[in-house]
Amino acid sequence: MIAVRGYEGERVAVLGLGRSGMSAARALRAGGAEVLPWDDGEAARDKAAAEGFAPVDLTRQGALQGCAALILSPGIPHLYPAPNRVVAAAWAAGVPVDNDIGLFFRSLATGDWDIYDTPPKVIAVTGSNGKSTTAALIHHLLTEAGRASQLAGNIGRGVLDIDPPGEGGVVVLELSSYQTDLARALTPDIAVFTNLSPDHLDRHGGLGGYFAAKRRLFVEGGPDRAIIGVDEDEGRYLANQMAEAPADDRLIRISAAGKLSGPGWSVFARKGFLAEWRKGRQVASLDLRAMPGLPGAHNHQNACAAYAAARCLGLAPKVIEKGLTSFQGLPHRSQLVAEAGGVRFVNDSKATNADSAARALAAFSRIRWICGGLEKEGGLGALAPHLGNVAKAYVIGREAAGFALHLGDTPHEVCTAMATAVARAAAEAQPGDTVLLAPAAASFDQYDNFERRGEDFIAEVARALDATNRAT
């Protein structure tokens, strides 16, 4: 655990007692703070009470009196579409609002670090798509190379739950826009920006606010090295702002859209090959095409980002190549779950918006596409260039018929239920086809989260293949 420093003997309120909220409460208590926890859910309050905390109703007038800070969980709105009433009360009372990420960065480094020859480092990864895979891939590369690494944040453990890193240790964080937007301290050694596409627009007041939340990690965090995807205008803008000169090698530009040029440091993927260029010359090249855990251009972008981060920490290209080859991917992210009769079954339930689904569609040909769910703001226009890869779509979700209207002339069938969609796709698939779950929508109309949706897909694939085996 990272004990929170700076609040010893102070009263600190914690709103929201999920994973990050409880982690913050424990770490604050370990640092000597008096914690005032609250959650609207009775079950969450009971869980906190079982750990010795005394819940305090923060919605009552004057509840924040004498508090040094309010620590907010990421699922609770602090500005858009409207500030939570406890947040508004904190503003009125002059109580600073922070989150567990801010507490982490203000508490991580200690005087003990002076004895280390190689102080610990923090790599923070943000972006719309690919940040989970990129963070996990960086952690994998470091672990395979024998470097001490911990994975936390929006993936793995809560940031305050990790062990204090030791000599040469690395902490790899995946950070969502909810986390970067509110944190009062953001000081990673290396910051990574993968890409940007419309998402969470209601929470950020539009696309500009969403990008601004990501941008904070760089312009307010002041990382020693910035690794920035430049396949969208926002990334190009951010890279331009971070560089002091064309050859400034504190910035590494990455791309999966084509060759990058210039005197600076760049890593890009083209036709399945990753290339590293510095000072106008190529210094390394890797073949990504046969790496099973990294299919498609979107994963090649993830590989470029992870490669760049590993290079910043001194790993050699051959060592990185070995780690990339052994990476198996993450559950629910382009996850190969079965292969039978020449048909692949791929679970990309994490493709919860149109842009991430489009990336999945671009990674395969002859797709039996399972899609649908709770549509997000931003529409489905990003899918159009890739619908030619779809042999047929099988639409799920409570509003499946409405979702199907976006598919135009693409052959499709309204299935509503996952079981029906998988059974129909498996029955109609031919050798060489890929049955792909890439919903382009949130899961909450039918499932608690995208993980449950992906697990249902995997279970139905097993059921369909078992039925096929029995029939033959």
Lowest mean pLDDT among 151-155, 182-186, 200-204, 376-380: 376-380
Extended beta strands in 299-389, E state: 335-340, 343-347, 367-371
H or E element at residue 216? helix 207-219
* Highest mean pLDDT, choosing among 215-224, 378-387, 415-424: 415-424
Cα–Cα distance measured from residue 18 to residue 74, given in angstroms and rounded to the nearest whole number = 9
Tell me: the pLDDT tens digits for 65-106?
Answer: 999 999 999 989 999 999 999 999 999 999 999 999 999 999
Cα–Cα distance between 471 and 241 in angstroms, integer?
62
Nearest Cα neighbor of 58 from 106, 17, 8 is: 17
Closest CA to 369 of 341, 410, 330, 339: 410
Looking at residue 472, its pLDDT comes to 64
pLDDT mean across residues, the chain: 94
* Residue 382 binned pLDDT confidence (cut-offs 50, 70, 90): confident
Q: Give the SS3 label for residue 415.
A: strand
Contacts 24+ apart (CB under 8 A), 45-50: 45/17, 47/17, 47/22, 48/17, 48/22
How confident is the model at residue 169, as a pLDDT? Answer: 97
pLDDT tens column, 6-18:
999 999 999 999 9
Q: Which pLDDT score, from 0 to 100, does residue 221 have?
A: 81
Q: What is the pLDDT of residues 337-355, one digit of tens each?
A: 999 999 999 999 999 988 8
Amino acid at the residue 289 = R
Reduce the secondary structure of 255-315 to three states and give it as a string: ECCCCCCCCCEEEEEECCEEEEEECCEEEEEEECCCCCCCCHHHHHHHHHHHHHHHHHCCC
Contact 73, 101 (CB under 8 A): no
- The three state secondary structure string of 149-173 is EEEEECCCECHHHCCCCCCCCEEEE
Write out the two tokens for 203.
């929470």
Residue type at 192 in one-letter notation: V
* Beta-ladder partners of 363: none
Is the pLDDT assigned to residue 117 strictly greater than 70?
yes
Read off the pLDDT band of 441 (50, 70, 90).
very high
Partners of residue 285 on adjacent β-strands: 275
Starting at the earlier edge strand, list the strands of the sheet with 343-347.
335-340, 343-347, 434-437, 367-371, 390-396, 412-416
Rounded to 5°, the CA angle 65-71-73 comes to 135
3-state secondary structure of 7: coil
Residue 280 has pLDDT above 70, yes or no: yes
Partners of 413 in the β-ladder: 394
CA atoms of 393 and 406, how far apart (whole Å): 11
Q: Residues at the annotated binding site for ATP? A: 127-133
User: What domains are defined for the chain?
Assistant: 11-98 (3.40.50.720), 105-326 (3.40.1190.10), 335-471 (3.90.190.20)
Q: What residues have CB less than 8 Å from 88, skipping those under 6 apart?
A: none
Considering Cα of 342, then 322, then 169, then 218, what sign does the dihedral take? negative
What are the residues whose beta carbons fall under 8 Å from the beta carbon of 115, sequence distance 6 or more?
none
Q: What SS3 class is residue 333?
A: strand
- The pLDDT score that the predictor gives to residue 201 is 86
- Averaged pLDDT for residues 411-428: 97
Q: Cα Rg for the chain, rounded, in angstroms?
A: 23
Q: CA–CA separation, 223 vs 452, rounded Å? A: 36
Nearest-angstrom CA–CA distance, 296 and 289: 9
Task: Decide if pLDDT at 160 tops 90.
Answer: yes
More confidently predicted of 214 and 470 = 214
